[in-house]
Amino acid sequence: MLDIKFVRENPEAVKDNIRKKFQDEKLPLVDEVIAKDAEARKAQTEADSIRAQKNTISKQIGALMKEGKREEAQALKEQVAANAKRLEELNRIQEEAQEIVHKDMMVIPQMVSDKVPIGKDDSENVELQKFGDPVVPDFEIPYHTQIMESFDGIDLDAAGRVAGNGFYYLKGDIARLHSSVLSYARDFMIGKGFTYVIPPFMIRRAVVDGVMSFAEMDAMMYKIEGEDLYLIGTSEHSMIGSFIDQILPENTLPRTLTSYSPCFRKEKGAHGIEERGVYRIHQFEKQEMIVVCRPEESMEWYEKLWRYTVELFRSMDIPVRQLACCTGDLADLKVISCDVEAWSPRQKKYFEVGSCSNLGDAQARRLRIRVQDENGNKYLAHTLNNTCVASPRMLIALLENNLQKDGSVKIPKVLQPYMGGTEVLIPKHNIMK
């Protein structure tokens, strides 16, 4: 959500930002916001004037009654009654106008950074840099669920019977590998000075409205029937929500947190072979990074966060690249965002494994997260989030990049302590040609 004063003073800049995001249908909202804001402020000014007259008129009525000027006093009493009626009308006008302003402001997008490339959708995202050399082995790599099945490590059929499409059972060594990656990511972030947190996995509607756009909510969130609760799509939601209505002492910033949670999402792709298996699912687990900081520090933290993800993947010898999200692929609350994509030797291309975002003061404004400096001055915090690792999607990259010609899978050295010292996983069924 933007500052209403900024919209009032910079309507053309706000409209230009909307055009950059290819959301021209929202352009009329800017004019409506300005008009309704002016209407509300005009009503407020008149109401304040009427209230200011109240004491004066009351004193005048008292004086006139003492002087026996009842007719004049009665005229003033009638004016008081008319003023009261007008106040009611002005309050209604102001409330209705403010309601429209709030509704419109909730869908007018955040101003994007000038570093964000212009583009209509994710097909126009821009590769910025690569880390590690992508390798295509001299043998054919099976689909990721086939690799898992060779270890008796996944059961999609049972999950389908129990919960339907988009769910899975992980078993044995594959389930242990899944947990090992998350544990390693947890300790990796603790080593970076982040505080480990396990948050609530459900949040109230007020928090949902504060952390994401309406479009995102409709596409992602599961509502708990009969309750003011939603299942989180990522722990960012409940982590940022924990600061709602808080005033944070400036000397306690930045707040650097790493959170574990299961994540629940409505999305289930049906757009080609790579949407099968466990790539796009209703339920997964994730280790997240969250930062709440001063505005002048947020871009510095943005750079740090996505680089932590790169460092994590490279420590497991997985090649990755950074991809700048274009304006059309940027969610409405984001100032700037990038994806980290891992190399898939089977597909011979990269695929998304994480996303890093700087949301500026958008979430803080919606959730009223303020900072107070040593002089008592208050201002809005900036918030950032980044995927450390999301599994089982991470397993796809890990298995493909460590699969050997005989069907075994090498365990990266950093994961071996979490796997009881195991260096290689030996398949139970040979699926290699």
CA distance 432 to 413: 24
Mean of the pLDDT values across residues 118-145?
A: 96
**What one-character-per-residue DSSP string does 375-421 give?**
TS-EEE-EEEEEEEEEETHHHHHHHHHHB-TTS-EEPPTTTGGGGTT
Residue 51 pLDDT grade (very low, low, confident, very high; cuts 50, 70, 90): confident
Angle at 285 between CA 284 and CA 290, to 5 degrees: 125
pLDDT in tens, 181-238: 999 999 999 999 999 999 999 999 999 999 998 778 888 899 999 999 999 999 999 9
Per the listing, tokens 């808080």 go with: 246
What's this model's pTM, rounded to 2 decimal places?
A: 0.91
Could you tell me if 43 and 90 are in contact, meaning their C-beta atoms sit under 8 angstroms apart?
A: yes
CA distance 46 to 108: 29
Determine what percent of the chain is predicted with pLDDT higher than 90. Answer: 83
Mean of the pLDDT values across residues 114-131?
A: 97
Q: Above 60 in pLDDT, residue 310? A: yes
Biggest CA pair distance of the chain = 111
Residue 273 pLDDT grade (very low, low, confident, very high; cuts 50, 70, 90): very low
Q: Which helix (H) or strand (E) holds 399?
A: helix 393-402
* Among the ranges given (305-309, 370-374, 389-393), the one the predictor scored with the smallest mean pLDDT: 389-393
Residue 271 pLDDT grade (very low, low, confident, very high; cuts 50, 70, 90): very low
pLDDT at 209: 94
Angle at 399 between CA 393 and CA 401, to 5 degrees: 105
Q: Above 90 in pLDDT, residue 392? A: no
pLDDT at 83: 83
CA distance 218 to 221: 6
Mean of the pLDDT values across residues 148-173?
A: 95
pLDDT in tens, 24-45: 999 999 999 999 999 999 999 9
**Domains in the chain: ranges and CATH:** 4-105 (1.10.287.40), 122-425 (3.30.930.10)
CA distance 291 to 369: 13
Q: Above 50 in pLDDT, residue 270? A: no
Q: Which burial class, exposed, middle or buried, applies to 147 when counting CB atoms under 10 A from its CB (0-12, 13-18, 19+)?
A: buried
Q: Above 70 in pLDDT, residue 272? A: no
Q: Look up residue 183 and give its amino acid.
A: S
Q: Look up residue 268 and give its amino acid.
A: K
